[in-house]
Structure 1
Amino acid sequence: MPSDLFSHRLTQPLLATVAATDTPLVLAGVLLSLVVIYVGSKIGGELCDRINLPPVLGELVAGVVIGVSAFDILVFPSATEDGSGSVIMTLLQLTSNISPESVTSVFEAQSEVISVLAELGVIILLFEIGLESDLKELLRVGPQATVVAVVGVAVPFTLGTAGLILLFHTPVVPAIFAGAALTATSIGITAKVLAEIQQLTSREGQIIIGAAVLDDVLGIIVLAVVASLAREGTVEVGNVVYLIVSAAAFLVGSIWLGRLLIPVFETVVDGLKTRGQLLISALIFAFILAYIANVIQLEAILGSFAAGLVLAESQRRRELEEQILPIADMFVPIFFIAVGARTDVSVLNPFVPENREGLIVASFLLAIAIFGKLVTGLTVFGQPGINRLAIGIGMIPRGEVGLVFAAVGSASGVLSKSLNAAIIVMVIFTTFLAPPFLRLAFTKPTATAEISEESSK
């Protein structure tokens, strides 16, 4: 059965358990939730942007603040939460005639709607990431970026998974999921920093960006595999091989076929006269691939990512990038706020004795996350005088890609609260640490000259 990132599969329609008289209250609850989400995302994003940190971190932290970890404004159903502790539901009770016995059903329906919107947000996010990638540039960077990417995925995944199993006796499937979360690299964060310090066209910058794009591709395949393993609950070699082959075949096949159909796509778009012809056509393509990926037991985000990679080859790429931004601005914050709101960071409170193991796990994941990417700089060959430290640091931030892994793991139920919180802490710290240290690494007197004209010909 294909998985959902946030929503629990319901055996009845979304509002089947809600009385007809309470249906408008579900809409009211959703509207209040969206107000809270958008206000929180803007405040958090603006604060981070003003101190030169990625706004996505502000959205995540804002979600933690308004969620179960702090103010209980935006909460989701759980074994201990029936809506009575939700500030939104309390406000709804004060401003409407909702009956106490209807609170739980309205709360569950409202939460389900927000969960579906968050799932759409991550699908659009991965479509946007794919759209910003450049396959031709990736191929031009050469073997160095490939080696860096493969090592940057293999080392943290192996060390993280093995360490959790051997040192902390973590069950195999959760350990694999946590290890997979260590493989990510945020191309958006790294590219922004490189552009700010004018190193985007340096040898180091080109290798980092190329490797980060490959990391995204490999990471999405790994995510599709481990998410399917989480659904099955066991690790079977035959199933793993099938998932890897099917994920790779789907990604390669959809990109190959999609690139052949780009002229058809552009002809159709040019022939349409109504408003939104490019954006709607692109979203149709992305949702079709997301649907196909979902029904063949992969993740929907793999399909939307592939759609983005395909349309990145279109002549109308820049126009599409501009048009998708408002859609992303509407849906993506819901995803990040929901991730933060679901994260219970109280499990990492050091003053609670039973939480100390979670803190040790978080420290372990952070150490592996940093070491596993720093070693990638040592694998660069054929580049005398290159700044290997800068390359390693540039691969460290997990950012939004790492959060996708954490969200999928949390929604699948395979991660314990402490392990999920440990992954979130790892993502936050690596994303905060990388930008200042990357700037510092490039201030060292090392060869960071731009790629020569001969190599660019």
Structure 2
Amino acid sequence: MNLETFTLFNFWSSPLLATTAEAESSSLILAGVLLSLAVIYLASKAGGELCARINLPPVLGELVFGVMVGVSVLHLLMFAEAGEDGSHSLIMNLLQATSPMGSTTFSHVFEAQSEVLSVLAEIGVVVLLFEIGLESDLKELLKVGIQSTVVAVIGVITPFVLGTTGLMLLFGTPAIPAIFAGAALTATSIGITAKVLAEMQRLNTREGQIIVGAAVIDDVLGIIVLAVVAGLARDGQVVVSDVVYLVISAAAFFIGAIWIGRLLNPLFVQLVNHMRTRGQVLLSALFFALILSYISATIHLEAILGAFAAGLVLAETEKREELQRQVAPVADVLMPVFFVIVGARTDISVLNPFVPENREGLIMASFLIVVAIVGKVLTGLGVFGQPGINRLAIGVGMVPRGEVGLVFAAIGAATGALSDALNAAIIVMVILTTFLAPPLLRWAFSLSEESATTDPASLSGNISEPVLVESERLQSELVKPEIQ
């Protein structure tokens, strides 16, 4: 073969080989995602059913079984974002055994599979917040708007101040790492709290509306705090213009989205009524929710804020009940992906006290956990003018940090602001507040139920009703002869 023929052969064969390799890689990525989803759904149902039978929130089972199939125990679900290379993933090893891959292809498949699962998890929480918005009442939410704002502000300031000053005074932590850790304490995972409230059918109670409203505001405040401390850690200074931009854009987006959405509600209903294709209500609503989520994400807010706003707007249309029925199966498919992956990403090895490197972090974590719980429980004291309301439940509902707290820890570690011990302490705090919040929330609501059943006023009411009925019967019998 001469040089010209060899060059021509390479010219034609290389793209063909590349195309074949890409097709094989895509096939393996799909296989890995499908197998991962099978594991996620099995873990979700097993954990959820077990917790439901022992009177615990099913979401807790999804988180616990997520830990079991994740990086801590079985290594079925592993993620490239956490620094893994895929060599410990049982799913990737199974793919390698059935379809041998080179090291480059192996890494590409693992990274792509991780990214797809992460995107599905984010879509899952977007659908969750859209469903929560549909189940919420905008008018009731506006009624508790001031209450929710007060609760959210207290829930940000209290743990931040306690955490930052405590780390500096008790542990001698430098200012910037202490501020970053304090900022991580301000987060609230609206996804976890909202799911528990929905499972307990408490979402539309006064407590539920205040918790959801405060968690949404807390999310916005958390983004602002994160932007401030990240800039402080990176540059040693805070850019005031960035903070002002976030505040104005958050307020303008949320108010504007709801105002414009309410104006367009009649058009939405009219458009849907004229459609004749299958799924017209669901797909039109999801289109609206995804557009608002996209706008929210592009202005550096959380996409879930847009989804929640879309749900609130469409909940005021005549299609609300129909839409709730149609969104439920979609949520059932996507929400477990989010909750199981939150658990799967949790590395509980940082809780091992027998590892010397963990001990300093565990001591700091003990302090952060106390501050994390107390700082949020105190938010219930900010509720005023609401006689008989369960302030403890409101405070406990703000406790879980979930994936939001892990974002703070990841950014802190990436900027170099956190030491290994302090980073581990934040992760431990996030793990325990996430897993403790669901049973604590159920316990807090059970206290109000017990007090209602043992209230002397309620007991006297229960006794007097049959007495009144009996007296009325006797009076009617006495009157009968006279009438005759």
Shared fold per TM-score greater than 0.5: yes
Cα distance in 1 for partners of 2:425, 2:25 equals 36
Structure 1 residues 332-371: aligned runs within 5 Å? 332-371=335-374
Q: Could you say which residue in structure 1 is the equivalent of 2:291?
A: 288
1:396 partner SS: helix
Q: Which moved more, 1:365-374 or 1:246-255?
A: 365-374
Alignment of 1:326-337 (within 5 A): 326-337=329-340
Counterpart residue number, 1:239: 242
Please tell me whether the aligned partners of residues 127 and 286 of structure 1 are also in contact (alpha carbons under 8 angstroms).
yes
**SS of the residue aligned with 1:52?**
coil
| SS of residue in 2 equivalent to 1:85 | coil
1:34 aligns with 2:20: no
More deviation, 155-164/309-318? 155-164
1:128-155 deviation line (CA, Å, top 9, x unaligned): 2222221211234586566455434543
Asked whether the equivalents of residues 44 and 62 of structure 2 are also in contact (C-alpha less than 8 Å), the reply is yes
Conserved? CA contact 1:128–1:308, under 8 Å: yes
Question: Residues 112 and 78 of structure 1: is their aligned pair in 2 closer, same or farther, counting only changes over 3 Å?
Answer: closer
SS at match of 1:210: helix
Aligned to 1:186, what secondary structure does the other structure show?
Answer: helix
Say which structure is richer in helix. Answer: 2
Structure 2 CA distance for aligned equivalents of residues 240 and 174 of structure 1: 16
Aligned to 1:74: 77
Instruction: Check whether the contact 2:187–2:219 (CA below 8 A) recurs between aligned residues.
Output: no
1:53 is aligned to: 56
Deviation, 1:163, is: 3.7
1:422 to 409, 424, 429: 429
Contact 1:76 1:342 in 2 (8 A): yes
- Counterpart for residue 320 of structure 2: 317
**Structure 1 residue identity aligned to 2:186:** A
Asked if the contact 2:59–2:195 (Cα under 8 Å) also holds between the matched residues in 1, the reply is no
The corresponding residue for 2:177 is 171
Measured against aligned partners, the alpha-carbon deviations of 1:15-39 in whole angstroms (never above 9, x if no partner) come to 99x7443221111111111111111
Q: Deviations over 1:225-263 (max 9, x none)?
A: 245457755643332232122111111111111111111
**Is the Cα–Cα contact under 8 Å of residues 348 and 418 in structure 1 kept in the other structure?**
no
Q: Which one-letter code corresponds to 1:95 in the other structure?
A: T
In structure 1, the partner of 2:216 is 217
1:125-144 alignment, distance < 5 Å: 125-140=128-143
Q: Which residue of 2 aligns with 1:3?
A: none
Q: Deviations over 1:195-251 (max 9, x none)?
A: 5xxxx99xxx52x22321321221231243245457755643332232122111111
Q: Which range moved further: 28-37 or 121-130?
A: 121-130
Question: Which letter does structure 2 place at the counterpart of 1:326?
Answer: P
Deviations 1:25-83 (A, max 9, x none): 11111111111111111111111111222211111111211111111111012575211
Partner of 2:446: 439
| Number of residue pairs aligned between Structure 1 and Structure 2 | 423
- Structure 1 gaps of 5+ residues are 1-14, 450-457
Preserved CA contact (<8 Å) 1:119 1:335: yes
Separation in 2 of the partners of 1:301 and 1:229? 21
CA change 1:186–1:62 in 2 (3 A) is same
Aligned counterpart, 1:21: 24
Could you say which residue in structure 1 is the equivalent of 2:96? 93
The secondary structure found in structure 1 opposite 2:441 is: helix
Amino acid at match of 2:223: A
Q: Mean alpha-carbon deviation: is it higher for 410-419 or for 109-118?
A: 410-419
| Distance in structure 2 (CA, Å) of the matches to 1:218 and 1:27 | 38
1:393 alignment partner AA: A
- For 1:370-449, what aligned pairs fall within 5 Å after superposition? 370-382=373-385, 386=388, 390-398=390-398, 402-409=401-408, 412=411, 414=413, 416-444=423-451, 445=454
Q: How far off is 1:402 after superposition?
A: 3.3
Letter of the structure 1 residue corresponding to residue 136 of structure 2 = S
Q: Which amino acid aligns with 2:221?
A: V
When residues 110 and 149 of structure 1 are mapped into structure 2, their CA distance, relative to the original with a 3 A threshold, is closer
Distance 1:438 1:393 in 2: 6
Moved more, 115-124 or 172-181: 172-181
Pair 1:383–1:124, CA change in 2 (3 A): closer
CA distance in structure 1 between the partners assigned to 2:54 and 2:292 by the alignment: 38
Q: Deviations over 1:331-376 (max 9, x none)?
A: 2211222221111111121222221233234333332343234434
Q: Is the 8 A contact 1:228 1:298 kept in 2?
A: no
Equivalent-residue separation in structure 2 for 1:378 and 1:244 (angstroms)? 25
Alignment gaps of 5+ in structure 2: 1-17, 459-484
Q: CA deviation at 1:397?
A: 3.3
CA contact (8 A) 1:63 1:336 kept: yes
CA RMSD of aligned residues (A): 3.2
- What is the TM-score with the length of structure 1 in the denominator? 0.82
Quote how far apart the aligned CAs of 1:448 are: 9.0
In the other structure, the counterpart of 2:186 is: 180
Task: Give the whole-Å Cα distance in 1 for the aligned partners of 2:457 and 2:242.
Answer: 45
Structure 1 partner of 2:4: none
1:9 maps to none
- How far apart are 1:161 and its partner, in Å? 4.8
Whichever residue aligns with residue 79 of structure 2, its letter is F
CA distance, structure 1, for counterparts of residue 229 and residue 287 of structure 2:
29
In 1, the alpha carbon distance for the partners of 2:386 and 2:103 equals: 69
Once the two structures are aligned, what percentage of the paired residues are identical? 51
> Are the structure 2 counterparts of residues 331 and 228 from structure 1 closer, same or farther at C-alpha, using a change threshold of 3 Å?
farther
Q: What is the CA–CA distance in structure 2 between the aligned matches of 1:368 and 1:374, rounded to whole Å?
A: 10
Q: Is the 8 A contact 2:377 2:398 kept in 1?
A: no
**Larger deviation, residues 271-280 vs 20-29:** 20-29
> Does residue 261 of structure 2 align to residue 261 of structure 1?
no
Give the Cα–Cα distance (whole angstroms) in 2 for the partners of residues 441 and 300 of structure 1. Answer: 34
Give the drift of 1:110.
1.4
- The answer to whether the 8 Å contact 1:398/1:431 transfers is no
When residues 60 and 429 of structure 1 are mapped into structure 2, their CA distance, relative to the original with a 3 A threshold, is same
1:285/1:176 CA distance change after superposition, 3 Å: farther
1:353 alignment partner AA: P
Q: Which moved more, 1:233-242 or 1:301-310?
A: 233-242
Residue type matched to 1:224 in 2? I
